[in-house]
Amino acid sequence: MYNNILKFENVYKSYGNIEIFKDFNLEIEVSEIVAIVGKSGSGKSTLLNMISLLEKPNFGKIFFQNKDIANIDNIDNLRLKNIGYIYQFHHLMTELNVIDNITLPLIMQKINKKARYMRAIELLESMNSRYLLNRKIENLSGGEKQRIAIARAIIHNPSLICADEPTGNLDEETGLNIFKILYNLVKQNNLSLFIVTHDYKLANMADRIIDII
C-alpha cells in the first residue's frame, strides 16, 4: 500500500530557454487536500498539468501510486481511471443533458447505462442537487454548472482530483459554497485533491498550501 498518491523527485521543467522548475520535489498524500497559490506566470498551471499527467518533466521522476510514470505504457488509460479534472470554466457539453455530462467518464469506460445513471443520481443526491437532473445545461447558473463539473470529475471514483481555479468564475459566496461541496466529497470519498486558486480563503481550508514564488 502506498502512503502518497503522487511524488515528484528532482523534477526539472522548462519551455525552451524558460526554466519553470528546477530540482522540484513534492509529495501528495492519500486523502490530502493541497492548495497551490502564486502570482500569474509562476508555473501553477504547468505544475497542475504535470500532476494530472498531461505533461512530463524534462528531467526527474514522477511517481503515481508508487509507479514511475516513465515506465507506464498507457498514461491515458491511467488518467481515465485515476484522475478527475475540474476546470475554471466547466467545459460542459450543451448538446448532452445533465446526466450524460456527468457520466462521460463512465461512458468512456464502457460502463452500462443503468449503472452509470444510478451512480450519477446518487452523486447528485449527496450534493443536494438532484433537482438539476432534468435541467438543460444552458439553463443552469454558473454555480450549478460547476456542481455538474464536480460530479463529472469524481463519478469514476478517481484517486486524485485536479482543480484549476474551480471557483474563479463565480462570485465569492457561490464559490465558497461550491468549494465546500467539493471539500466534503473529497473527504467523504477518501480522495486526494490538488487545487490551484487565487483565493486564500479557499486555500486556508486545505490541509497544506504551496506558495510558488
Which sequence spans correspond to the domains of the chain? 4-93+157-212
pLDDT in tens, 46-105: 888 889 888 889 999 999 888 888 888 888 888 888 888 888 777 888 888 889 999 998
Dihedral sign for Cα atoms in the order 96, 98, 101, 106? negative
- Residues of the chain with pLDDT > 70, as a percent, come to 99
Q: Is the pLDDT of residue 45 over 80?
A: yes
Say what the pLDDT of residue 131 is.
86
CA distance 84 to 156: 8
The pTM of the full predicted model, rounded to 2 decimals, is: 0.84
Q: Which CATH number fits domain 4-93+157-212: 3.60.20.10, 3.40.50.150, 3.40.50.300, 3.30.365.10?
A: 3.40.50.300
Q: Is the pLDDT of residue 209 over 90?
A: yes
Say what the pLDDT of residue 63 is.
92
In the predicted model, what is the mean pLDDT of the chain?
86
Rg value, the chain, Cα: 17
Cell numbers found for residue 163: 482543480
- Residues of the chain with pLDDT > 90, as a percent, come to 22
Average pLDDT over residues 163-182: 80
In DSSP terms, 29 is beta-bridged to 4
pLDDT-based confidence at 2, cuts 50/70/90? low
Say what the pLDDT of residue 199 is.
82
pLDDT in tens, 192-207: 999 988 888 888 989 9
Q: Is the pLDDT of residue 147 over 90?
A: no
Say what the pLDDT of residue 1 is.
53
